């Protein structure tokens, strides 16, 4: 029986996309809840409720970012070197924000002082906003293309990353993750917090649609043509986004609305992949210097060994994640003695 050829670089391109989508969907609602933290929760108990809603899962959600980075390093080392060198300062800020966010969650309720808790609440909100913005800006720059030498070295400066398209994608990321976080809080909370979360999610949804249109317009002006191959995925994104808004307004449909939000984020990552393919990183102004999937990939042996490990490890991670979410299902409670 003849062997079926496998395009390993493309397989790993898709798998890295899956890992990124997993991170965006899971840690995305953590970030969104953090962005909304100061707005939907007014009292100390309400803010502890918001923190407790993500308490059992936030650290596990962030883990999805590690295999995504590790897979990129092993499968496409040239791309890893180019992207991480180009985004070095932004990545340092991102890591600092994630560290401060984790510290805020752990330290916030160590003291009863209102000033102490307000300070950590503010730090938590800001350190949730920054990763959402920076990840969007990074994705926008990759889609737009990076200025590179023939060797693949990034030649632009920090200001070059702050272009209109990438900044708009950053704002789109903030809006979408804020809506996603609002949908999560609508599932996990009750009363005033739930009502405020739904209102905030609706406003974030509206902002996302507006920013989505602006980003599409800027992209069209820069490219000069309509990228027809991405229309189908873009349609899935729009249908899921509209479905999210309709479902969020119906009592008892909060979980379905959250799933619709997750689908819209997955579609957005798929849209990015379809725009990039067959490139990993397009070269701005010099298409011949683009880092392609085939040209930037590691050896076939490396990709084959990694694939075997991934096929064993990923189902275990998915199963563990499912068990954790099932165990901590239901509305969030606040333990007066051991509250966050």
pLDDT beyond 90 at 202: yes
Strongest mean pLDDT among 80-84, 145-149, 179-183, 222-226: 179-183
Please provide residue 252's backbone torsions phi and psi, each rounded to the nearest 5 degrees.
85, -5
1 in a structural domain: no
Percent helix, strand, coil in the chain, to 5, is 75, 5, 20
Sequence-distant (6+) residues with CB within 8 A of 246 are: none
pLDDT in tens, 19-50: 999 999 999 999 999 999 999 998 999 999 99
Q: 16 lies in a domain?
A: yes
Q: What is the mean pLDDT of the chain?
A: 88
**What is the rounded CA–CA span in Å between residue 144 and residue 281?**
9
332 lies in some domain: no
83 in a structural domain: yes
Using a pLDDT cut of 90, give the percent of the chain over it. 53
Highest-confidence range of 125-139, 141-155, 286-300, 316-330, by mean pLDDT? 125-139
pLDDT score of 340? 46
C-beta neighbour count of 53 within 10 angstroms? 26
Please say if the pLDDT value at position 82 is more than 60.
yes
- Residue 299 forms part of a structural domain: yes
| Residue 150 resides in a domain | yes
Q: What single DSSP character describes residue 154?
A: B
CA-based radius of gyration for the chain: 21
- The 10s digit of each residue's pLDDT in 211-270 is 998 998 888 887 766 665 577 888 888 899 999 999 998 888 999 999 999 999 999 999
Judge whether residue 61 has pLDDT over 70.
yes
Give the range of the structural domain holding residue 96, as residue numbers without chain letter: 8-327
Q: Per-residue pLDDT tens for 105-145?
A: 889 888 888 899 999 999 999 999 999 999 999 999 999 88
Report residue 14's pLDDT band, with 50, 70 and 90 as the boundaries: very high
Domain-located, residue 119 = yes
116 domain residue, yes or no: yes
Q: Which two tokens stand for residue 171?
A: 């704002």
Better-predicted residue by pLDDT, 332 or 139: 139
Number of domains, the chain: 1
DSSP single-letter state for residue 149: -
* CA atoms of 132 and 119, how far apart (whole Å): 21
Length of the chain in terms of residues written: 340
Model confidence band, residue 286 (pLDDT cutoffs 50, 70, 90): confident
Q: What is the pLDDT of residue 199?
A: 95
The answer on pLDDT for 62 being more than 90 is no
How far is CA 237 from its chain centroid? 15
| pTM beyond cutoff 0.75 | yes
């Amino acid at each position: 029986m003849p062997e079926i050829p496998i395009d390993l670089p493309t397989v790993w391109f898709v798998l890295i996309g899956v890992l990124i989508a997993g991170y965006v969907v899971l840690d995305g609602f953590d970030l969104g809840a953090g962005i909304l933290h100061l707005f939907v929760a007014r009292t100390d108990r309400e803010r502890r409720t918001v923190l407790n809603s993500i308490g059992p899962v936030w650290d596990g959600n962030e883990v999805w970012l590690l295999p995504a980075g590790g897979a990129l390093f092993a499968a496409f080392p040239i791309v890893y070197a180019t992207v991480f060198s180009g985004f070095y300062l932004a990545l340092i800020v991102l890591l600092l924000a994630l560290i401060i966010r984790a510290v805020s969650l752990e330290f916030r309720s160590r003291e009863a002082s209102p000033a102490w808790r307000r300070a950590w609440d503010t730090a938590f909100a800001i350190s949730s906003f920054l990763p959402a913005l920076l990840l969007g800006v990074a994705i926008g720059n990759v889609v737009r293309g990076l200025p590179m030498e023939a060797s693949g070295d990034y030649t632009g400066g920090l200001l070059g990353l702050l272009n209109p398209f990438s900044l708009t994608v950053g704002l789109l990321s903030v809006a979408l993750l804020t809506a996603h976080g609002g949908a999560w809080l609508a599932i996990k909370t009750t009363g005033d917090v739930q009502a405020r979360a739904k209102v905030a999610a609706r406003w974030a949804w509206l902002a996302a649609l507006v920013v989505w249109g602006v980003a599409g317009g800027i992209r069209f002006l820069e490219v000069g043509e309509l990228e027809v191959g991405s229309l189908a995925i873009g349609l899935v994104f729009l249908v899921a986004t509209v479905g999210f808004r309709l479902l969020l307004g119906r009592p008892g449909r909060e979980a379905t609305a959250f799933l619709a939000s997750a689908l819209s984020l997955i579609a957005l990552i798929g849209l990015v992949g379809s725009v990039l393919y067959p490139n990993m990183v397009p070269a701005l102004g010099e298409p011949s210097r683009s880092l392609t999937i085939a040209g930037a990939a590691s050896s076939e042996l490396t990709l084959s060994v990694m694939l075997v490990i991934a096929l064993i490890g990923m189902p275990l991670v998915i199963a563990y994640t499912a068990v954790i979410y099932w165990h901590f299902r239901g509305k969030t409670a606040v333990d007066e003695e051991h509250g966050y």
